[in-house]
């Protein structure tokens, strides 16, 4: 996960940052690849339907590169075509987490300097969501992608409640444990269930009167910091997050709050 802004990046030759478009072969050719299924049996008509749909999406010169009969009246296509739209990259503003990325030892040193007790963190994957791999990657002792999980940090005291934890059960544990931070994982996003689930937890934490003492952090493959802020969380972490990003954020944010 790169938290650094790329606003001042040096762009390859021939690239106008105010008019960015995809490329495949030569710069600015607009070439993109698209895959989709159609609920029609494979055949010449399905092929032509796929080509026309890509054209309707705004792709110029759409051509079918791969096709598969999915059976039972369904077909699958990979289509190449040229995108004609451009984006002003220089006008993009993405909210980012305000923190310095630190390593395990640096975080431990920082924590020992600023706290005379262990910081309590409770984590869970909530609602009906059974995907534990994400929250385990952040919390498990063994760690993830070359970084130890929060359980490995002597300065953190953690509880990983696992998956399919109801917001009621999580809130009860937050209160009982006097948690400094809560980590909520949401992987399933069908029908925007993650949004209602996360918003409900914020409401419940506020109603319980513990919001001001709790750092609320959510994460998942389709979570961004922007979405997290909109839902009332303090921070959101997406794909590529490493445990030290989260540990470092908690440490720095708790110190920042104590100062303000
Ligand atoms: C493994 C898996 C499963 C396993 C889960 C096993 C387990 N114990 O976790 C099983 C087989 C049980 C499963 C079941 C289902 N799955 Co599934 N599953 C996956 C799969 C293949 C990988 C997920 C994964 O482990 N990723 C690896 C981890 C490390 O990545 P991550 O979760 O993104 O976590 C990282 C970051 O997001 C972040 N992060 C995550 N959480 C948190 C939390 C905090 C606080 C922080 C700071 C950071 C953070 O840090 C992590 C490390 O970088 C994905 C497809 C995919 N390739 O992603 C589908 C996928 C997630 N599953 C999907 C679906 C639909 C289901 C089922 C509904 C299928 C079904 N019809 O039964 C069920 C749902 C069951 C349920 N009740 O939840 C869909 C979800 C679609 C959607 N957008 O909602 C996916 C995307 C597959 C797909 N393309 O359709 N699944």
Considering only CA atoms, which residue is closest to atom 13 of ligand 1?
131
Atom number of ligand 1 nearest to Cα 242:
53
Q: pLDDT tens across 15-53, in order?
A: 899 999 999 999 999 999 999 999 999 999 999 999 999
Atom number of ligand 1 nearest to Cα 235:
47
Atom number of ligand 1 nearest to Cα 217:
45
Query: Same domain, yes or no, for 70 and 112?
Result: no
Q: pLDDT tens across 70-90, in order?
A: 999 999 999 999 999 999 999
Query: Same domain, yes or no, for 43 and 140?
Result: no
Query: Same domain, yes or no, for 237 and 176?
Result: yes
Residue to probe by mutation, ligand 1, list 128, 131, 241, most atoms within 8 Å of CB: 131
Query: Same domain, yes or no, for 58 and 110?
Result: no
Considering only CA atoms, which residue is closest to atom 7 of ligand 1?
131
Query: Same domain, yes or no, for 47 and 156?
Result: no
Residue 3, pLDDT > 90, answer no
Residues 6 or more apart whose CB falls under 8 angstroms from that of 88 comprise 17, 18, 19, 20
Residue 1, pLDDT > 50, answer no
User: How close are the terminal C-alpha atoms of the chain, in Å?
Assistant: 28
In a domain, 4, yes or no: no
pLDDT at residue 74 in the model:
98
pTM of the model: 0.88
How far is CA 207 from its chain centroid?
27
The mean pLDDT value of the chain amounts to 95
Q: pLDDT tens across 169-222, in order?
A: 999 999 999 999 999 999 999 999 999 999 999 999 999 999 999 999 999 999
Overall number of domains in the chain: 2
From ligand 1's centre to the CA of 58, what distance in Å?
A: 32
From ligand 1's centre to the CA of 187, what distance in Å?
A: 5
From ligand 1's centre to the CA of 124, what distance in Å?
A: 14
**3-class SS of residue 107:** helix
Residue 62, pLDDT > 70, answer yes
Query: Same domain, yes or no, for 55 and 162?
Result: no
Burial class (CB in 10 A: 0-12, 13-18, 19+), 224: middle
Query: Same domain, yes or no, for 136 and 242?
Result: yes
pLDDT at residue 5 in the model:
67
pLDDT at residue 10 in the model:
85
Residue 180, CB-side half-sphere exposure with 13 Å CA sphere: 20
Residue to probe by mutation, ligand 1, list 126, 164, 187, most atoms within 8 Å of CB: 187
- CB atoms under 10 Å from CB of 136, counted, come to 21
Atom number of ligand 1 nearest to Cα 132:
9
From ligand 1's centre to the CA of 199, what distance in Å?
A: 20
Query: Same domain, yes or no, for 108 and 164?
Result: yes
Range of the domain at 186: 104-259
In a domain, 21, yes or no: no
Catalytic residues, by residue number, are 142
Report d(CA 133, CA 163) in Å as an integer: 9
Residue 6, pLDDT > 80, answer no
Report d(CA 94, CA 15) in Å as an integer: 21
pLDDT at residue 2 in the model:
47
CATH number at residue 58: 3.30.30.60
Angstrom distances, CA of residue 104 to CA of 92, 181, 242, 247, 251: 32, 18, 11, 8, 12
In a domain, 77, yes or no: yes
In a domain, 50, yes or no: yes
CATH number at residue 254: 3.40.50.280
């Amino acid at each position: 996960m790169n938290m650094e802004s790329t606003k001042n990046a040096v762009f390859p030759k021939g690239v106008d940052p105010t008019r960015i478009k995809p490329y495949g072969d030569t710069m600015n050719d607009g070439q993109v690849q698209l895959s989709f299924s159609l609920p029609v049996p494979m055949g010449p008509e399905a092929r032509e339907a796929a080509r026309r749909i890509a054209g309707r999406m705004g792709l110029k010169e759409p051509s079918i590169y791969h096709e598969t009969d999915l059976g039972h009246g369904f077909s699958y296509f990979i289509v190449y075509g040229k995108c004609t739209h451009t984006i002003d990259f220089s006008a993009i503003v993405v909210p980012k987490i305000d923190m310095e990325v630190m390593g395990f030892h640096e975080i431990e040193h920082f924590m020992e300097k600023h706290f005379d007790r262990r910081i309590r963190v409770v984590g869970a994957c909530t609602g009906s969501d059974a995907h534990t791999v994400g929250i385990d990657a952040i919390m498990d002792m063994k760690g993830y992608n070359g970084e130890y999980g929060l359980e490995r940090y002597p300065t953190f005291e953690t509880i990983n409640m696992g998956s399919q934890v109801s917001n009621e059960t999580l809130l009860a544990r937050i209160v009982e444990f006097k948690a400094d931070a809560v980590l909520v994982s949401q992987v399933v996003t069908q029908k925007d269930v993650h949004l209602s689930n996360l918003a409900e937890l914020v409401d419940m934490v506020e109603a319980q009167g513990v919001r001001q003492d709790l750092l609320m952090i959510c994460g998942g493959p389709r979570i961004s910091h922007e979405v997290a802020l909109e839902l009332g969380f303090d921070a959101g972490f997406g794909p590529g997050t490493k445990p030290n990003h989260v540990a470092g954020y908690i440490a720095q944010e708790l110190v920042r709050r104590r100062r303000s």
